[in-house]
Structure 1
Amino acid sequence: MHRRRRRSALVLSAALIAAAPLLTACGSDAHPGAAAVVDGRRITVGQLENRVNEVRVAQRAATKDDAQYEQAIAKTGSLTRDTLHSLVLDQVLARAAKDAGVSVSRKDTQRMRAGLEQQAGGAKALETAWLQQYGVAPQRLDDSLRTEIEAQKLAAALGADMNTEAGKATFWKALSDASKKLHVDLNPRYGTWDVEKSSRADAKTPWLREVTAEAAKPA
């Protein structure tokens, strides 16, 4: 990929990851079957598991043998929590973008995908790169690119230079403000959001284990 374009994508993606701890969540009342509740709408455990399994199936298809597949799993051991972060952040980013008057068209996404495919050496190469770098299954690539564009447009609307600390702070504050409006509530099973430390704190519940990889393993 073109070095400058790739750097921009990585900077924005890093901004979204770093912004995750700024989400607010009480994790108090139990929400049966919910991994998280955002603006009163549930992200169910089933939806989360389906997304994780999509990635595992794609990783299985992209690896040559069991050893490579196991290595891919080892490198993405926090996939379930990372996927939940993304599902929540998608909604938070969408709210921040709406508040800033930002919108993304289908044409925007198609244009970006065409450009990235050309740089990557084809559609398959781009899908593989996004799977390996960001844990995005091929069928979710357009959604991921739309989020990337949304982040770029939001940064521009805010006048936030993502290459500077001040710009990043402005961007993250917009996400934090949006998350507060959406009243994000995370199931304690997947940890909590520590706003003060700007880092994720995992719930200390050793009896809870993630077994998402098992569903994708061959019988």
Structure 2
Amino acid sequence: MHRRRRTALVLSAAIAAAAPFLTACGSDAHPGAAAVVGGQRITVSQLENRVNEVRRAQRAAVPDETQYQQVLASTSSLTRDTLYNMVLDRVLHRAAQDAGITVTRKDVEATRAGYEQQLGGAKALQTAWLQKYGIAPERLDDNLRFQTEATKLAQLLGTDTSQPAFWKVLANASKELHVDLNPRYGAWDVQKSSRVDAKTPWVREVTSAGTQVSA
């Protein structure tokens, strides 16, 4: 399967029609946490830092103010999408560990070389990942490691990242890790390994030129 297609499938949340299978974490249980994965917190501060990295990269890439405002409007869900990717990274890593998969620096370099060849160079790869997936340039290597783990896991399973067999393994990892999202960012569907919006109409996301804040 084409690598760019696999990437889109892994990075894009599989929106679930069914109800999420978790208990949303409250501020009393996990103060300052955007999510708790395997007992380890992803803090609101860490999430905001990731979002700010993307916003700075977008600002540098789009100096025109009108165009930048259009970028902000088209990526209004960046905070929640970023948290999804941060959680999924840990879920995938657990699944890869359970399967005995390791990823070396050489593996990551090979993945990078493949994408650069497809897209036309290092700069084109950075631009594509920023525009399509909200990955800041300084996080590119981390994401390429993620992509490599996903590819290796799919190959071990004899499938690809679009197939139920792949996502079933991730669902098992989600269960092991007891993924728990702060309800302001939605909820985690274990079966789909996906973030879903919680039905909390009082929660709104405010987008500014510097960051996104969920109130």
TM-score bin, normalised by smaller chain: 0.7 to 0.9
Q: Which amino acid aligns with 2:23?
A: C
Contact 2:34 2:185 in 1 (8 A): yes
| Structure (1 or 2) with the greater helix fraction | 1
- Secondary structure of 2:22 counterpart: coil
Task: Look up the match of 1:201.
Answer: 197
Alignment match, 1:26: 23
The CA deviation string for residues 137-167 of structure 1, in whole angstroms up to 9 with x for no partner, is 000111111111110100011112446xxxx
TM alignment of 1:88-167, pairs within 5 A: 88-162=87-161
SS in 2 for 1:64: coil
Cα distance in 2 for residues equivalent to 1:204 and 1:193:
15
Aligned pairs for 1:167-178 within 5 A: 168-178=163-173
Aligned length: 207
The alignment-based identity, stated in percent, is 58
Q: Is the 8 A contact 2:150 2:161 kept in 1?
A: no
Over aligned residue pairs, what C-alpha RMSD do you find? 2.5
Q: Distance in 1 between matches of 2:131 and 2:7?
A: 17
Which amino acid in the other structure matches residue 204 of structure 1?
T
- Quote the residue 1:186 is aligned against: 181
TM-score, reference length from structure 1 = 0.84
Alignment deviations for residues 33-69 of structure 1 (CA, whole Å, 9 cap, x no partner):
0000011110000000000010011000001301111
Specify whether residues 148 and 196 from structure 1 end up closer, same or farther in structure 2 by C-alpha distance, changes over 3 A only.
closer
Q: Distance in 2 between matches of 1:92 and 1:162?
A: 14
TM-score (norm 2): 0.86
What residue number does 1:59 align with? 58
2:168–2:191 CA contact under 8 A, matched in 1: no
Mapped partners of 2:148, 2:128: distance in 1: 18
Contact 2:26/2:183, CA 8 A, preserved across alignment: no
Query: 1:8 Cα shift?
Result: 2.5
Moved over 6 A (4+): 196-199
Alignment check: 8 A CA contact 1:56 1:213 kept: no
Structure 2's unaligned 5+ residue stretches are none
CA distance in 1, matches of 2:11, 2:120: 26
| Structure 1 stretches lacking a partner, 5+ long | none
State the Cα distance separating 1:112 from its structure 2 match.
1.8
In the aligned structure 1, how far is the partner of 2:107 from the partner of 2:126? 18
